[in-house]
Chain A
């Protein structure tokens, strides 16, 4: 059985979820291959071998240097047609979700997106995925070949497992590309919310757009900063920071909610975190019912003190 992992790279650096997908793939089948698209990426491709890719298909083409959903769908459909994998795994990033959706229609293939687990049950591919923003966990069976699984970042540990990692160049056609990318604004070096191991979020209790206390705590923990919808609606934080049923679903090791009441839509997006800490001045706030540890107090006193304490610990 062949599992093909679609690896995602940004400027020659692989997203962590690509390695996580390889680790998930190794538990599914005997032959694990990877494919990476881009331009000038042949040299970095070998890294995928460190995580268990036996063969690494590299489509290195100027037309693929920037991700476009139609170009990548076309190229991947060709490659998948050649390799005929039983299962295709891709990271459920913004790009991965879009690409897998378009690819599922092109290949007439089963798709399960944002999966938190994937396994074989006899010869059936079975995946677990949250629905209703995490209020329910569904076990789904994917029929037909290939089955496409988009794996949520941060749910499977990336384990080093050196394999042959033979790089094979493939020539593919990007086909007709409609998308023209005319601008990009990316904060480099920022830890992405969905990939972060620690998330510190601030809600309406922040009282304004000064998030410096939250940012300092996040920095001391190597964490990403999140927000409740109220904070986004107030214009204090960008929409990409929103955690919840209509924002991002996160499952970090540690989630620290500051000045967040714990509305059902917010809880949906973060209750699969391993450990939850709530800091809120209202002892009756519902967030305390879901938190492993709670501090009742003014976040503007608690958060800076906590930051200092974390710094002491980390030395």
Chain B
């Protein structure tokens, strides 16, 4: 099995986000960066499949030079090689990222592509299915369990109100959902080995792509912080009963939500 993992480096979820002076991006200094949590699940699942079936795991990422750190972490977890495509100054929307990834994948042999169902920075929920469409292969979203057999992958996926089980032929793209696995930590020997694993950086031109092909269609015009929630009122009372009576009264008469 040749397995590709689509991986994005994102600010850690515990980060406080502040808006930069340009008003359309966030302040990057001092932020801690990590592998997008869903992509960590993707690396883990790819490694598990490789362990069972043989083959190789390649990590693909579109991002700035710094994103090499995240790929290296994936290699330290056990992936075999990595490729970073640095789009330079081009501001990409989700579709542009998908186009770059599809261009990078086109000439690579693969049986399975594993991505996250969303990157927790832009929250686009877009790149996985869009890459599959551009490559003309099936995609399955929000997978919590999978099994590969006889040229097909069978997946249990979360949907509103429950789960469904679907099967698609390979090659295919799946996106991960929490519950799929518990990602392993990079071990110290793993980290040492990762330093020697192949990790290329390429530019858009290497794939014959130009900025003109990738002009974003969805453009952030402004960022705002959501209105700060002020601390409200602690309901005092001598007994639990007194407190809940007051609360229900407040929710009914003041807030008018029940």
Residues of A near B166 (CB, < 8 A) are 179-182
Whole-angstrom CA separation of A114 from B122 in the bound complex: 11
Q: Are B258 and A97 in contact (CB under 8 A)?
A: no
Q: Are A253 and B257 in contact (CB under 8 A)?
A: yes
Whole-angstrom CA separation of A192 from B52 in the bound complex: 37
Q: Are B161 and A190 in contact (CB under 8 A)?
A: yes
Interface residues of B in 109-137 (CB under 8 A from A): 120-134
Selecting from B11-19, B61-69, B78-86, B192-200, the interface stretch reads B11-19
Q: Are A136 and B141 in contact (CB under 8 A)?
A: no
Q: Are A114 and B125 in contact (CB under 8 A)?
A: yes
Q: Are B232 and A291 in contact (CB under 8 A)?
A: yes
Q: Interface residues of A toward B: which range?
A: 35 or more
- Secondary structure at chain A's binding surface: helix, strand, loop or mixed? mixed
Selected from B158, B220, B240, B255, the residue in CB contact (under 8 A) with A297 is B240
Selected from A69, A114, A247, A274, the residue in CB contact (under 8 A) with B178 is A247
Whole-angstrom CA separation of A265 from B258 in the bound complex: 27
How far is the CB of A271 from the nearest CB of chain B, in Å? 6
| A113 touches B (CB below 8 Å) | yes
Q: Binary interface profile of B, 82-109, with partner A (CB < 8 Å = 1, else 0)?
A: 0000000000011100100000000000
Given A182-B165, A290-B231, A295-B243, A105-B134 contact (CB < 8 Å): yes
Selecting from B1-9, B204-212, B222-230, the interface stretch reads B222-230
Closest to A283 in B: B234
Q: Are A254 and B220 in contact (CB under 8 A)?
A: no
Residues of B near A221 (CB, < 8 A) are 258
Q: Are A109 and B217 in contact (CB under 8 A)?
A: yes
Q: Which among A112, A271, A293, A296 has the greatest number of chain B C-beta atoms within 10 A?
A: A293
Selected from B126, B217, B226, B258, the residue in CB contact (under 8 A) with A254 is B258
Q: Are B223 and A138 in contact (CB under 8 A)?
A: yes
Q: Binary interface profile of A, 273-315, with partner B (CB < 8 Å = 1, else 0)?
A: 0111100000100001111111111000110011011101110
Q: Are B141 and A94 in contact (CB under 8 A)?
A: yes
Whole-angstrom CA separation of A104 from B127 in the bound complex: 10
Other than the given A265-B13, A293-B250, 6 more pairs (CB < 8 A) read A101-B124, A192-B160, A239-B177, A254-B258, A308-B244, A309-B248
Identify 12 residue pairs between A and B in the complex whose beta-carbon atoms are under 8 Å apart, listed by A's number.
A98-B141, A106-B133, A108-B217, A111-B126, A132-B120, A133-B13, A136-B226, A139-B221, A183-B165, A185-B162, A292-B255, A310-B248
Which B residues lie at the A interface, using CB under 8 A?
Answer: 11, 13-17, 19, 26, 37-38, 93-95, 98, 120-134, 138-142, 144, 154, 156, 158-169, 172, 177-179, 217-226, 229, 231-235, 240-241, 243-245, 247-248, 250-252, 255, 257-258
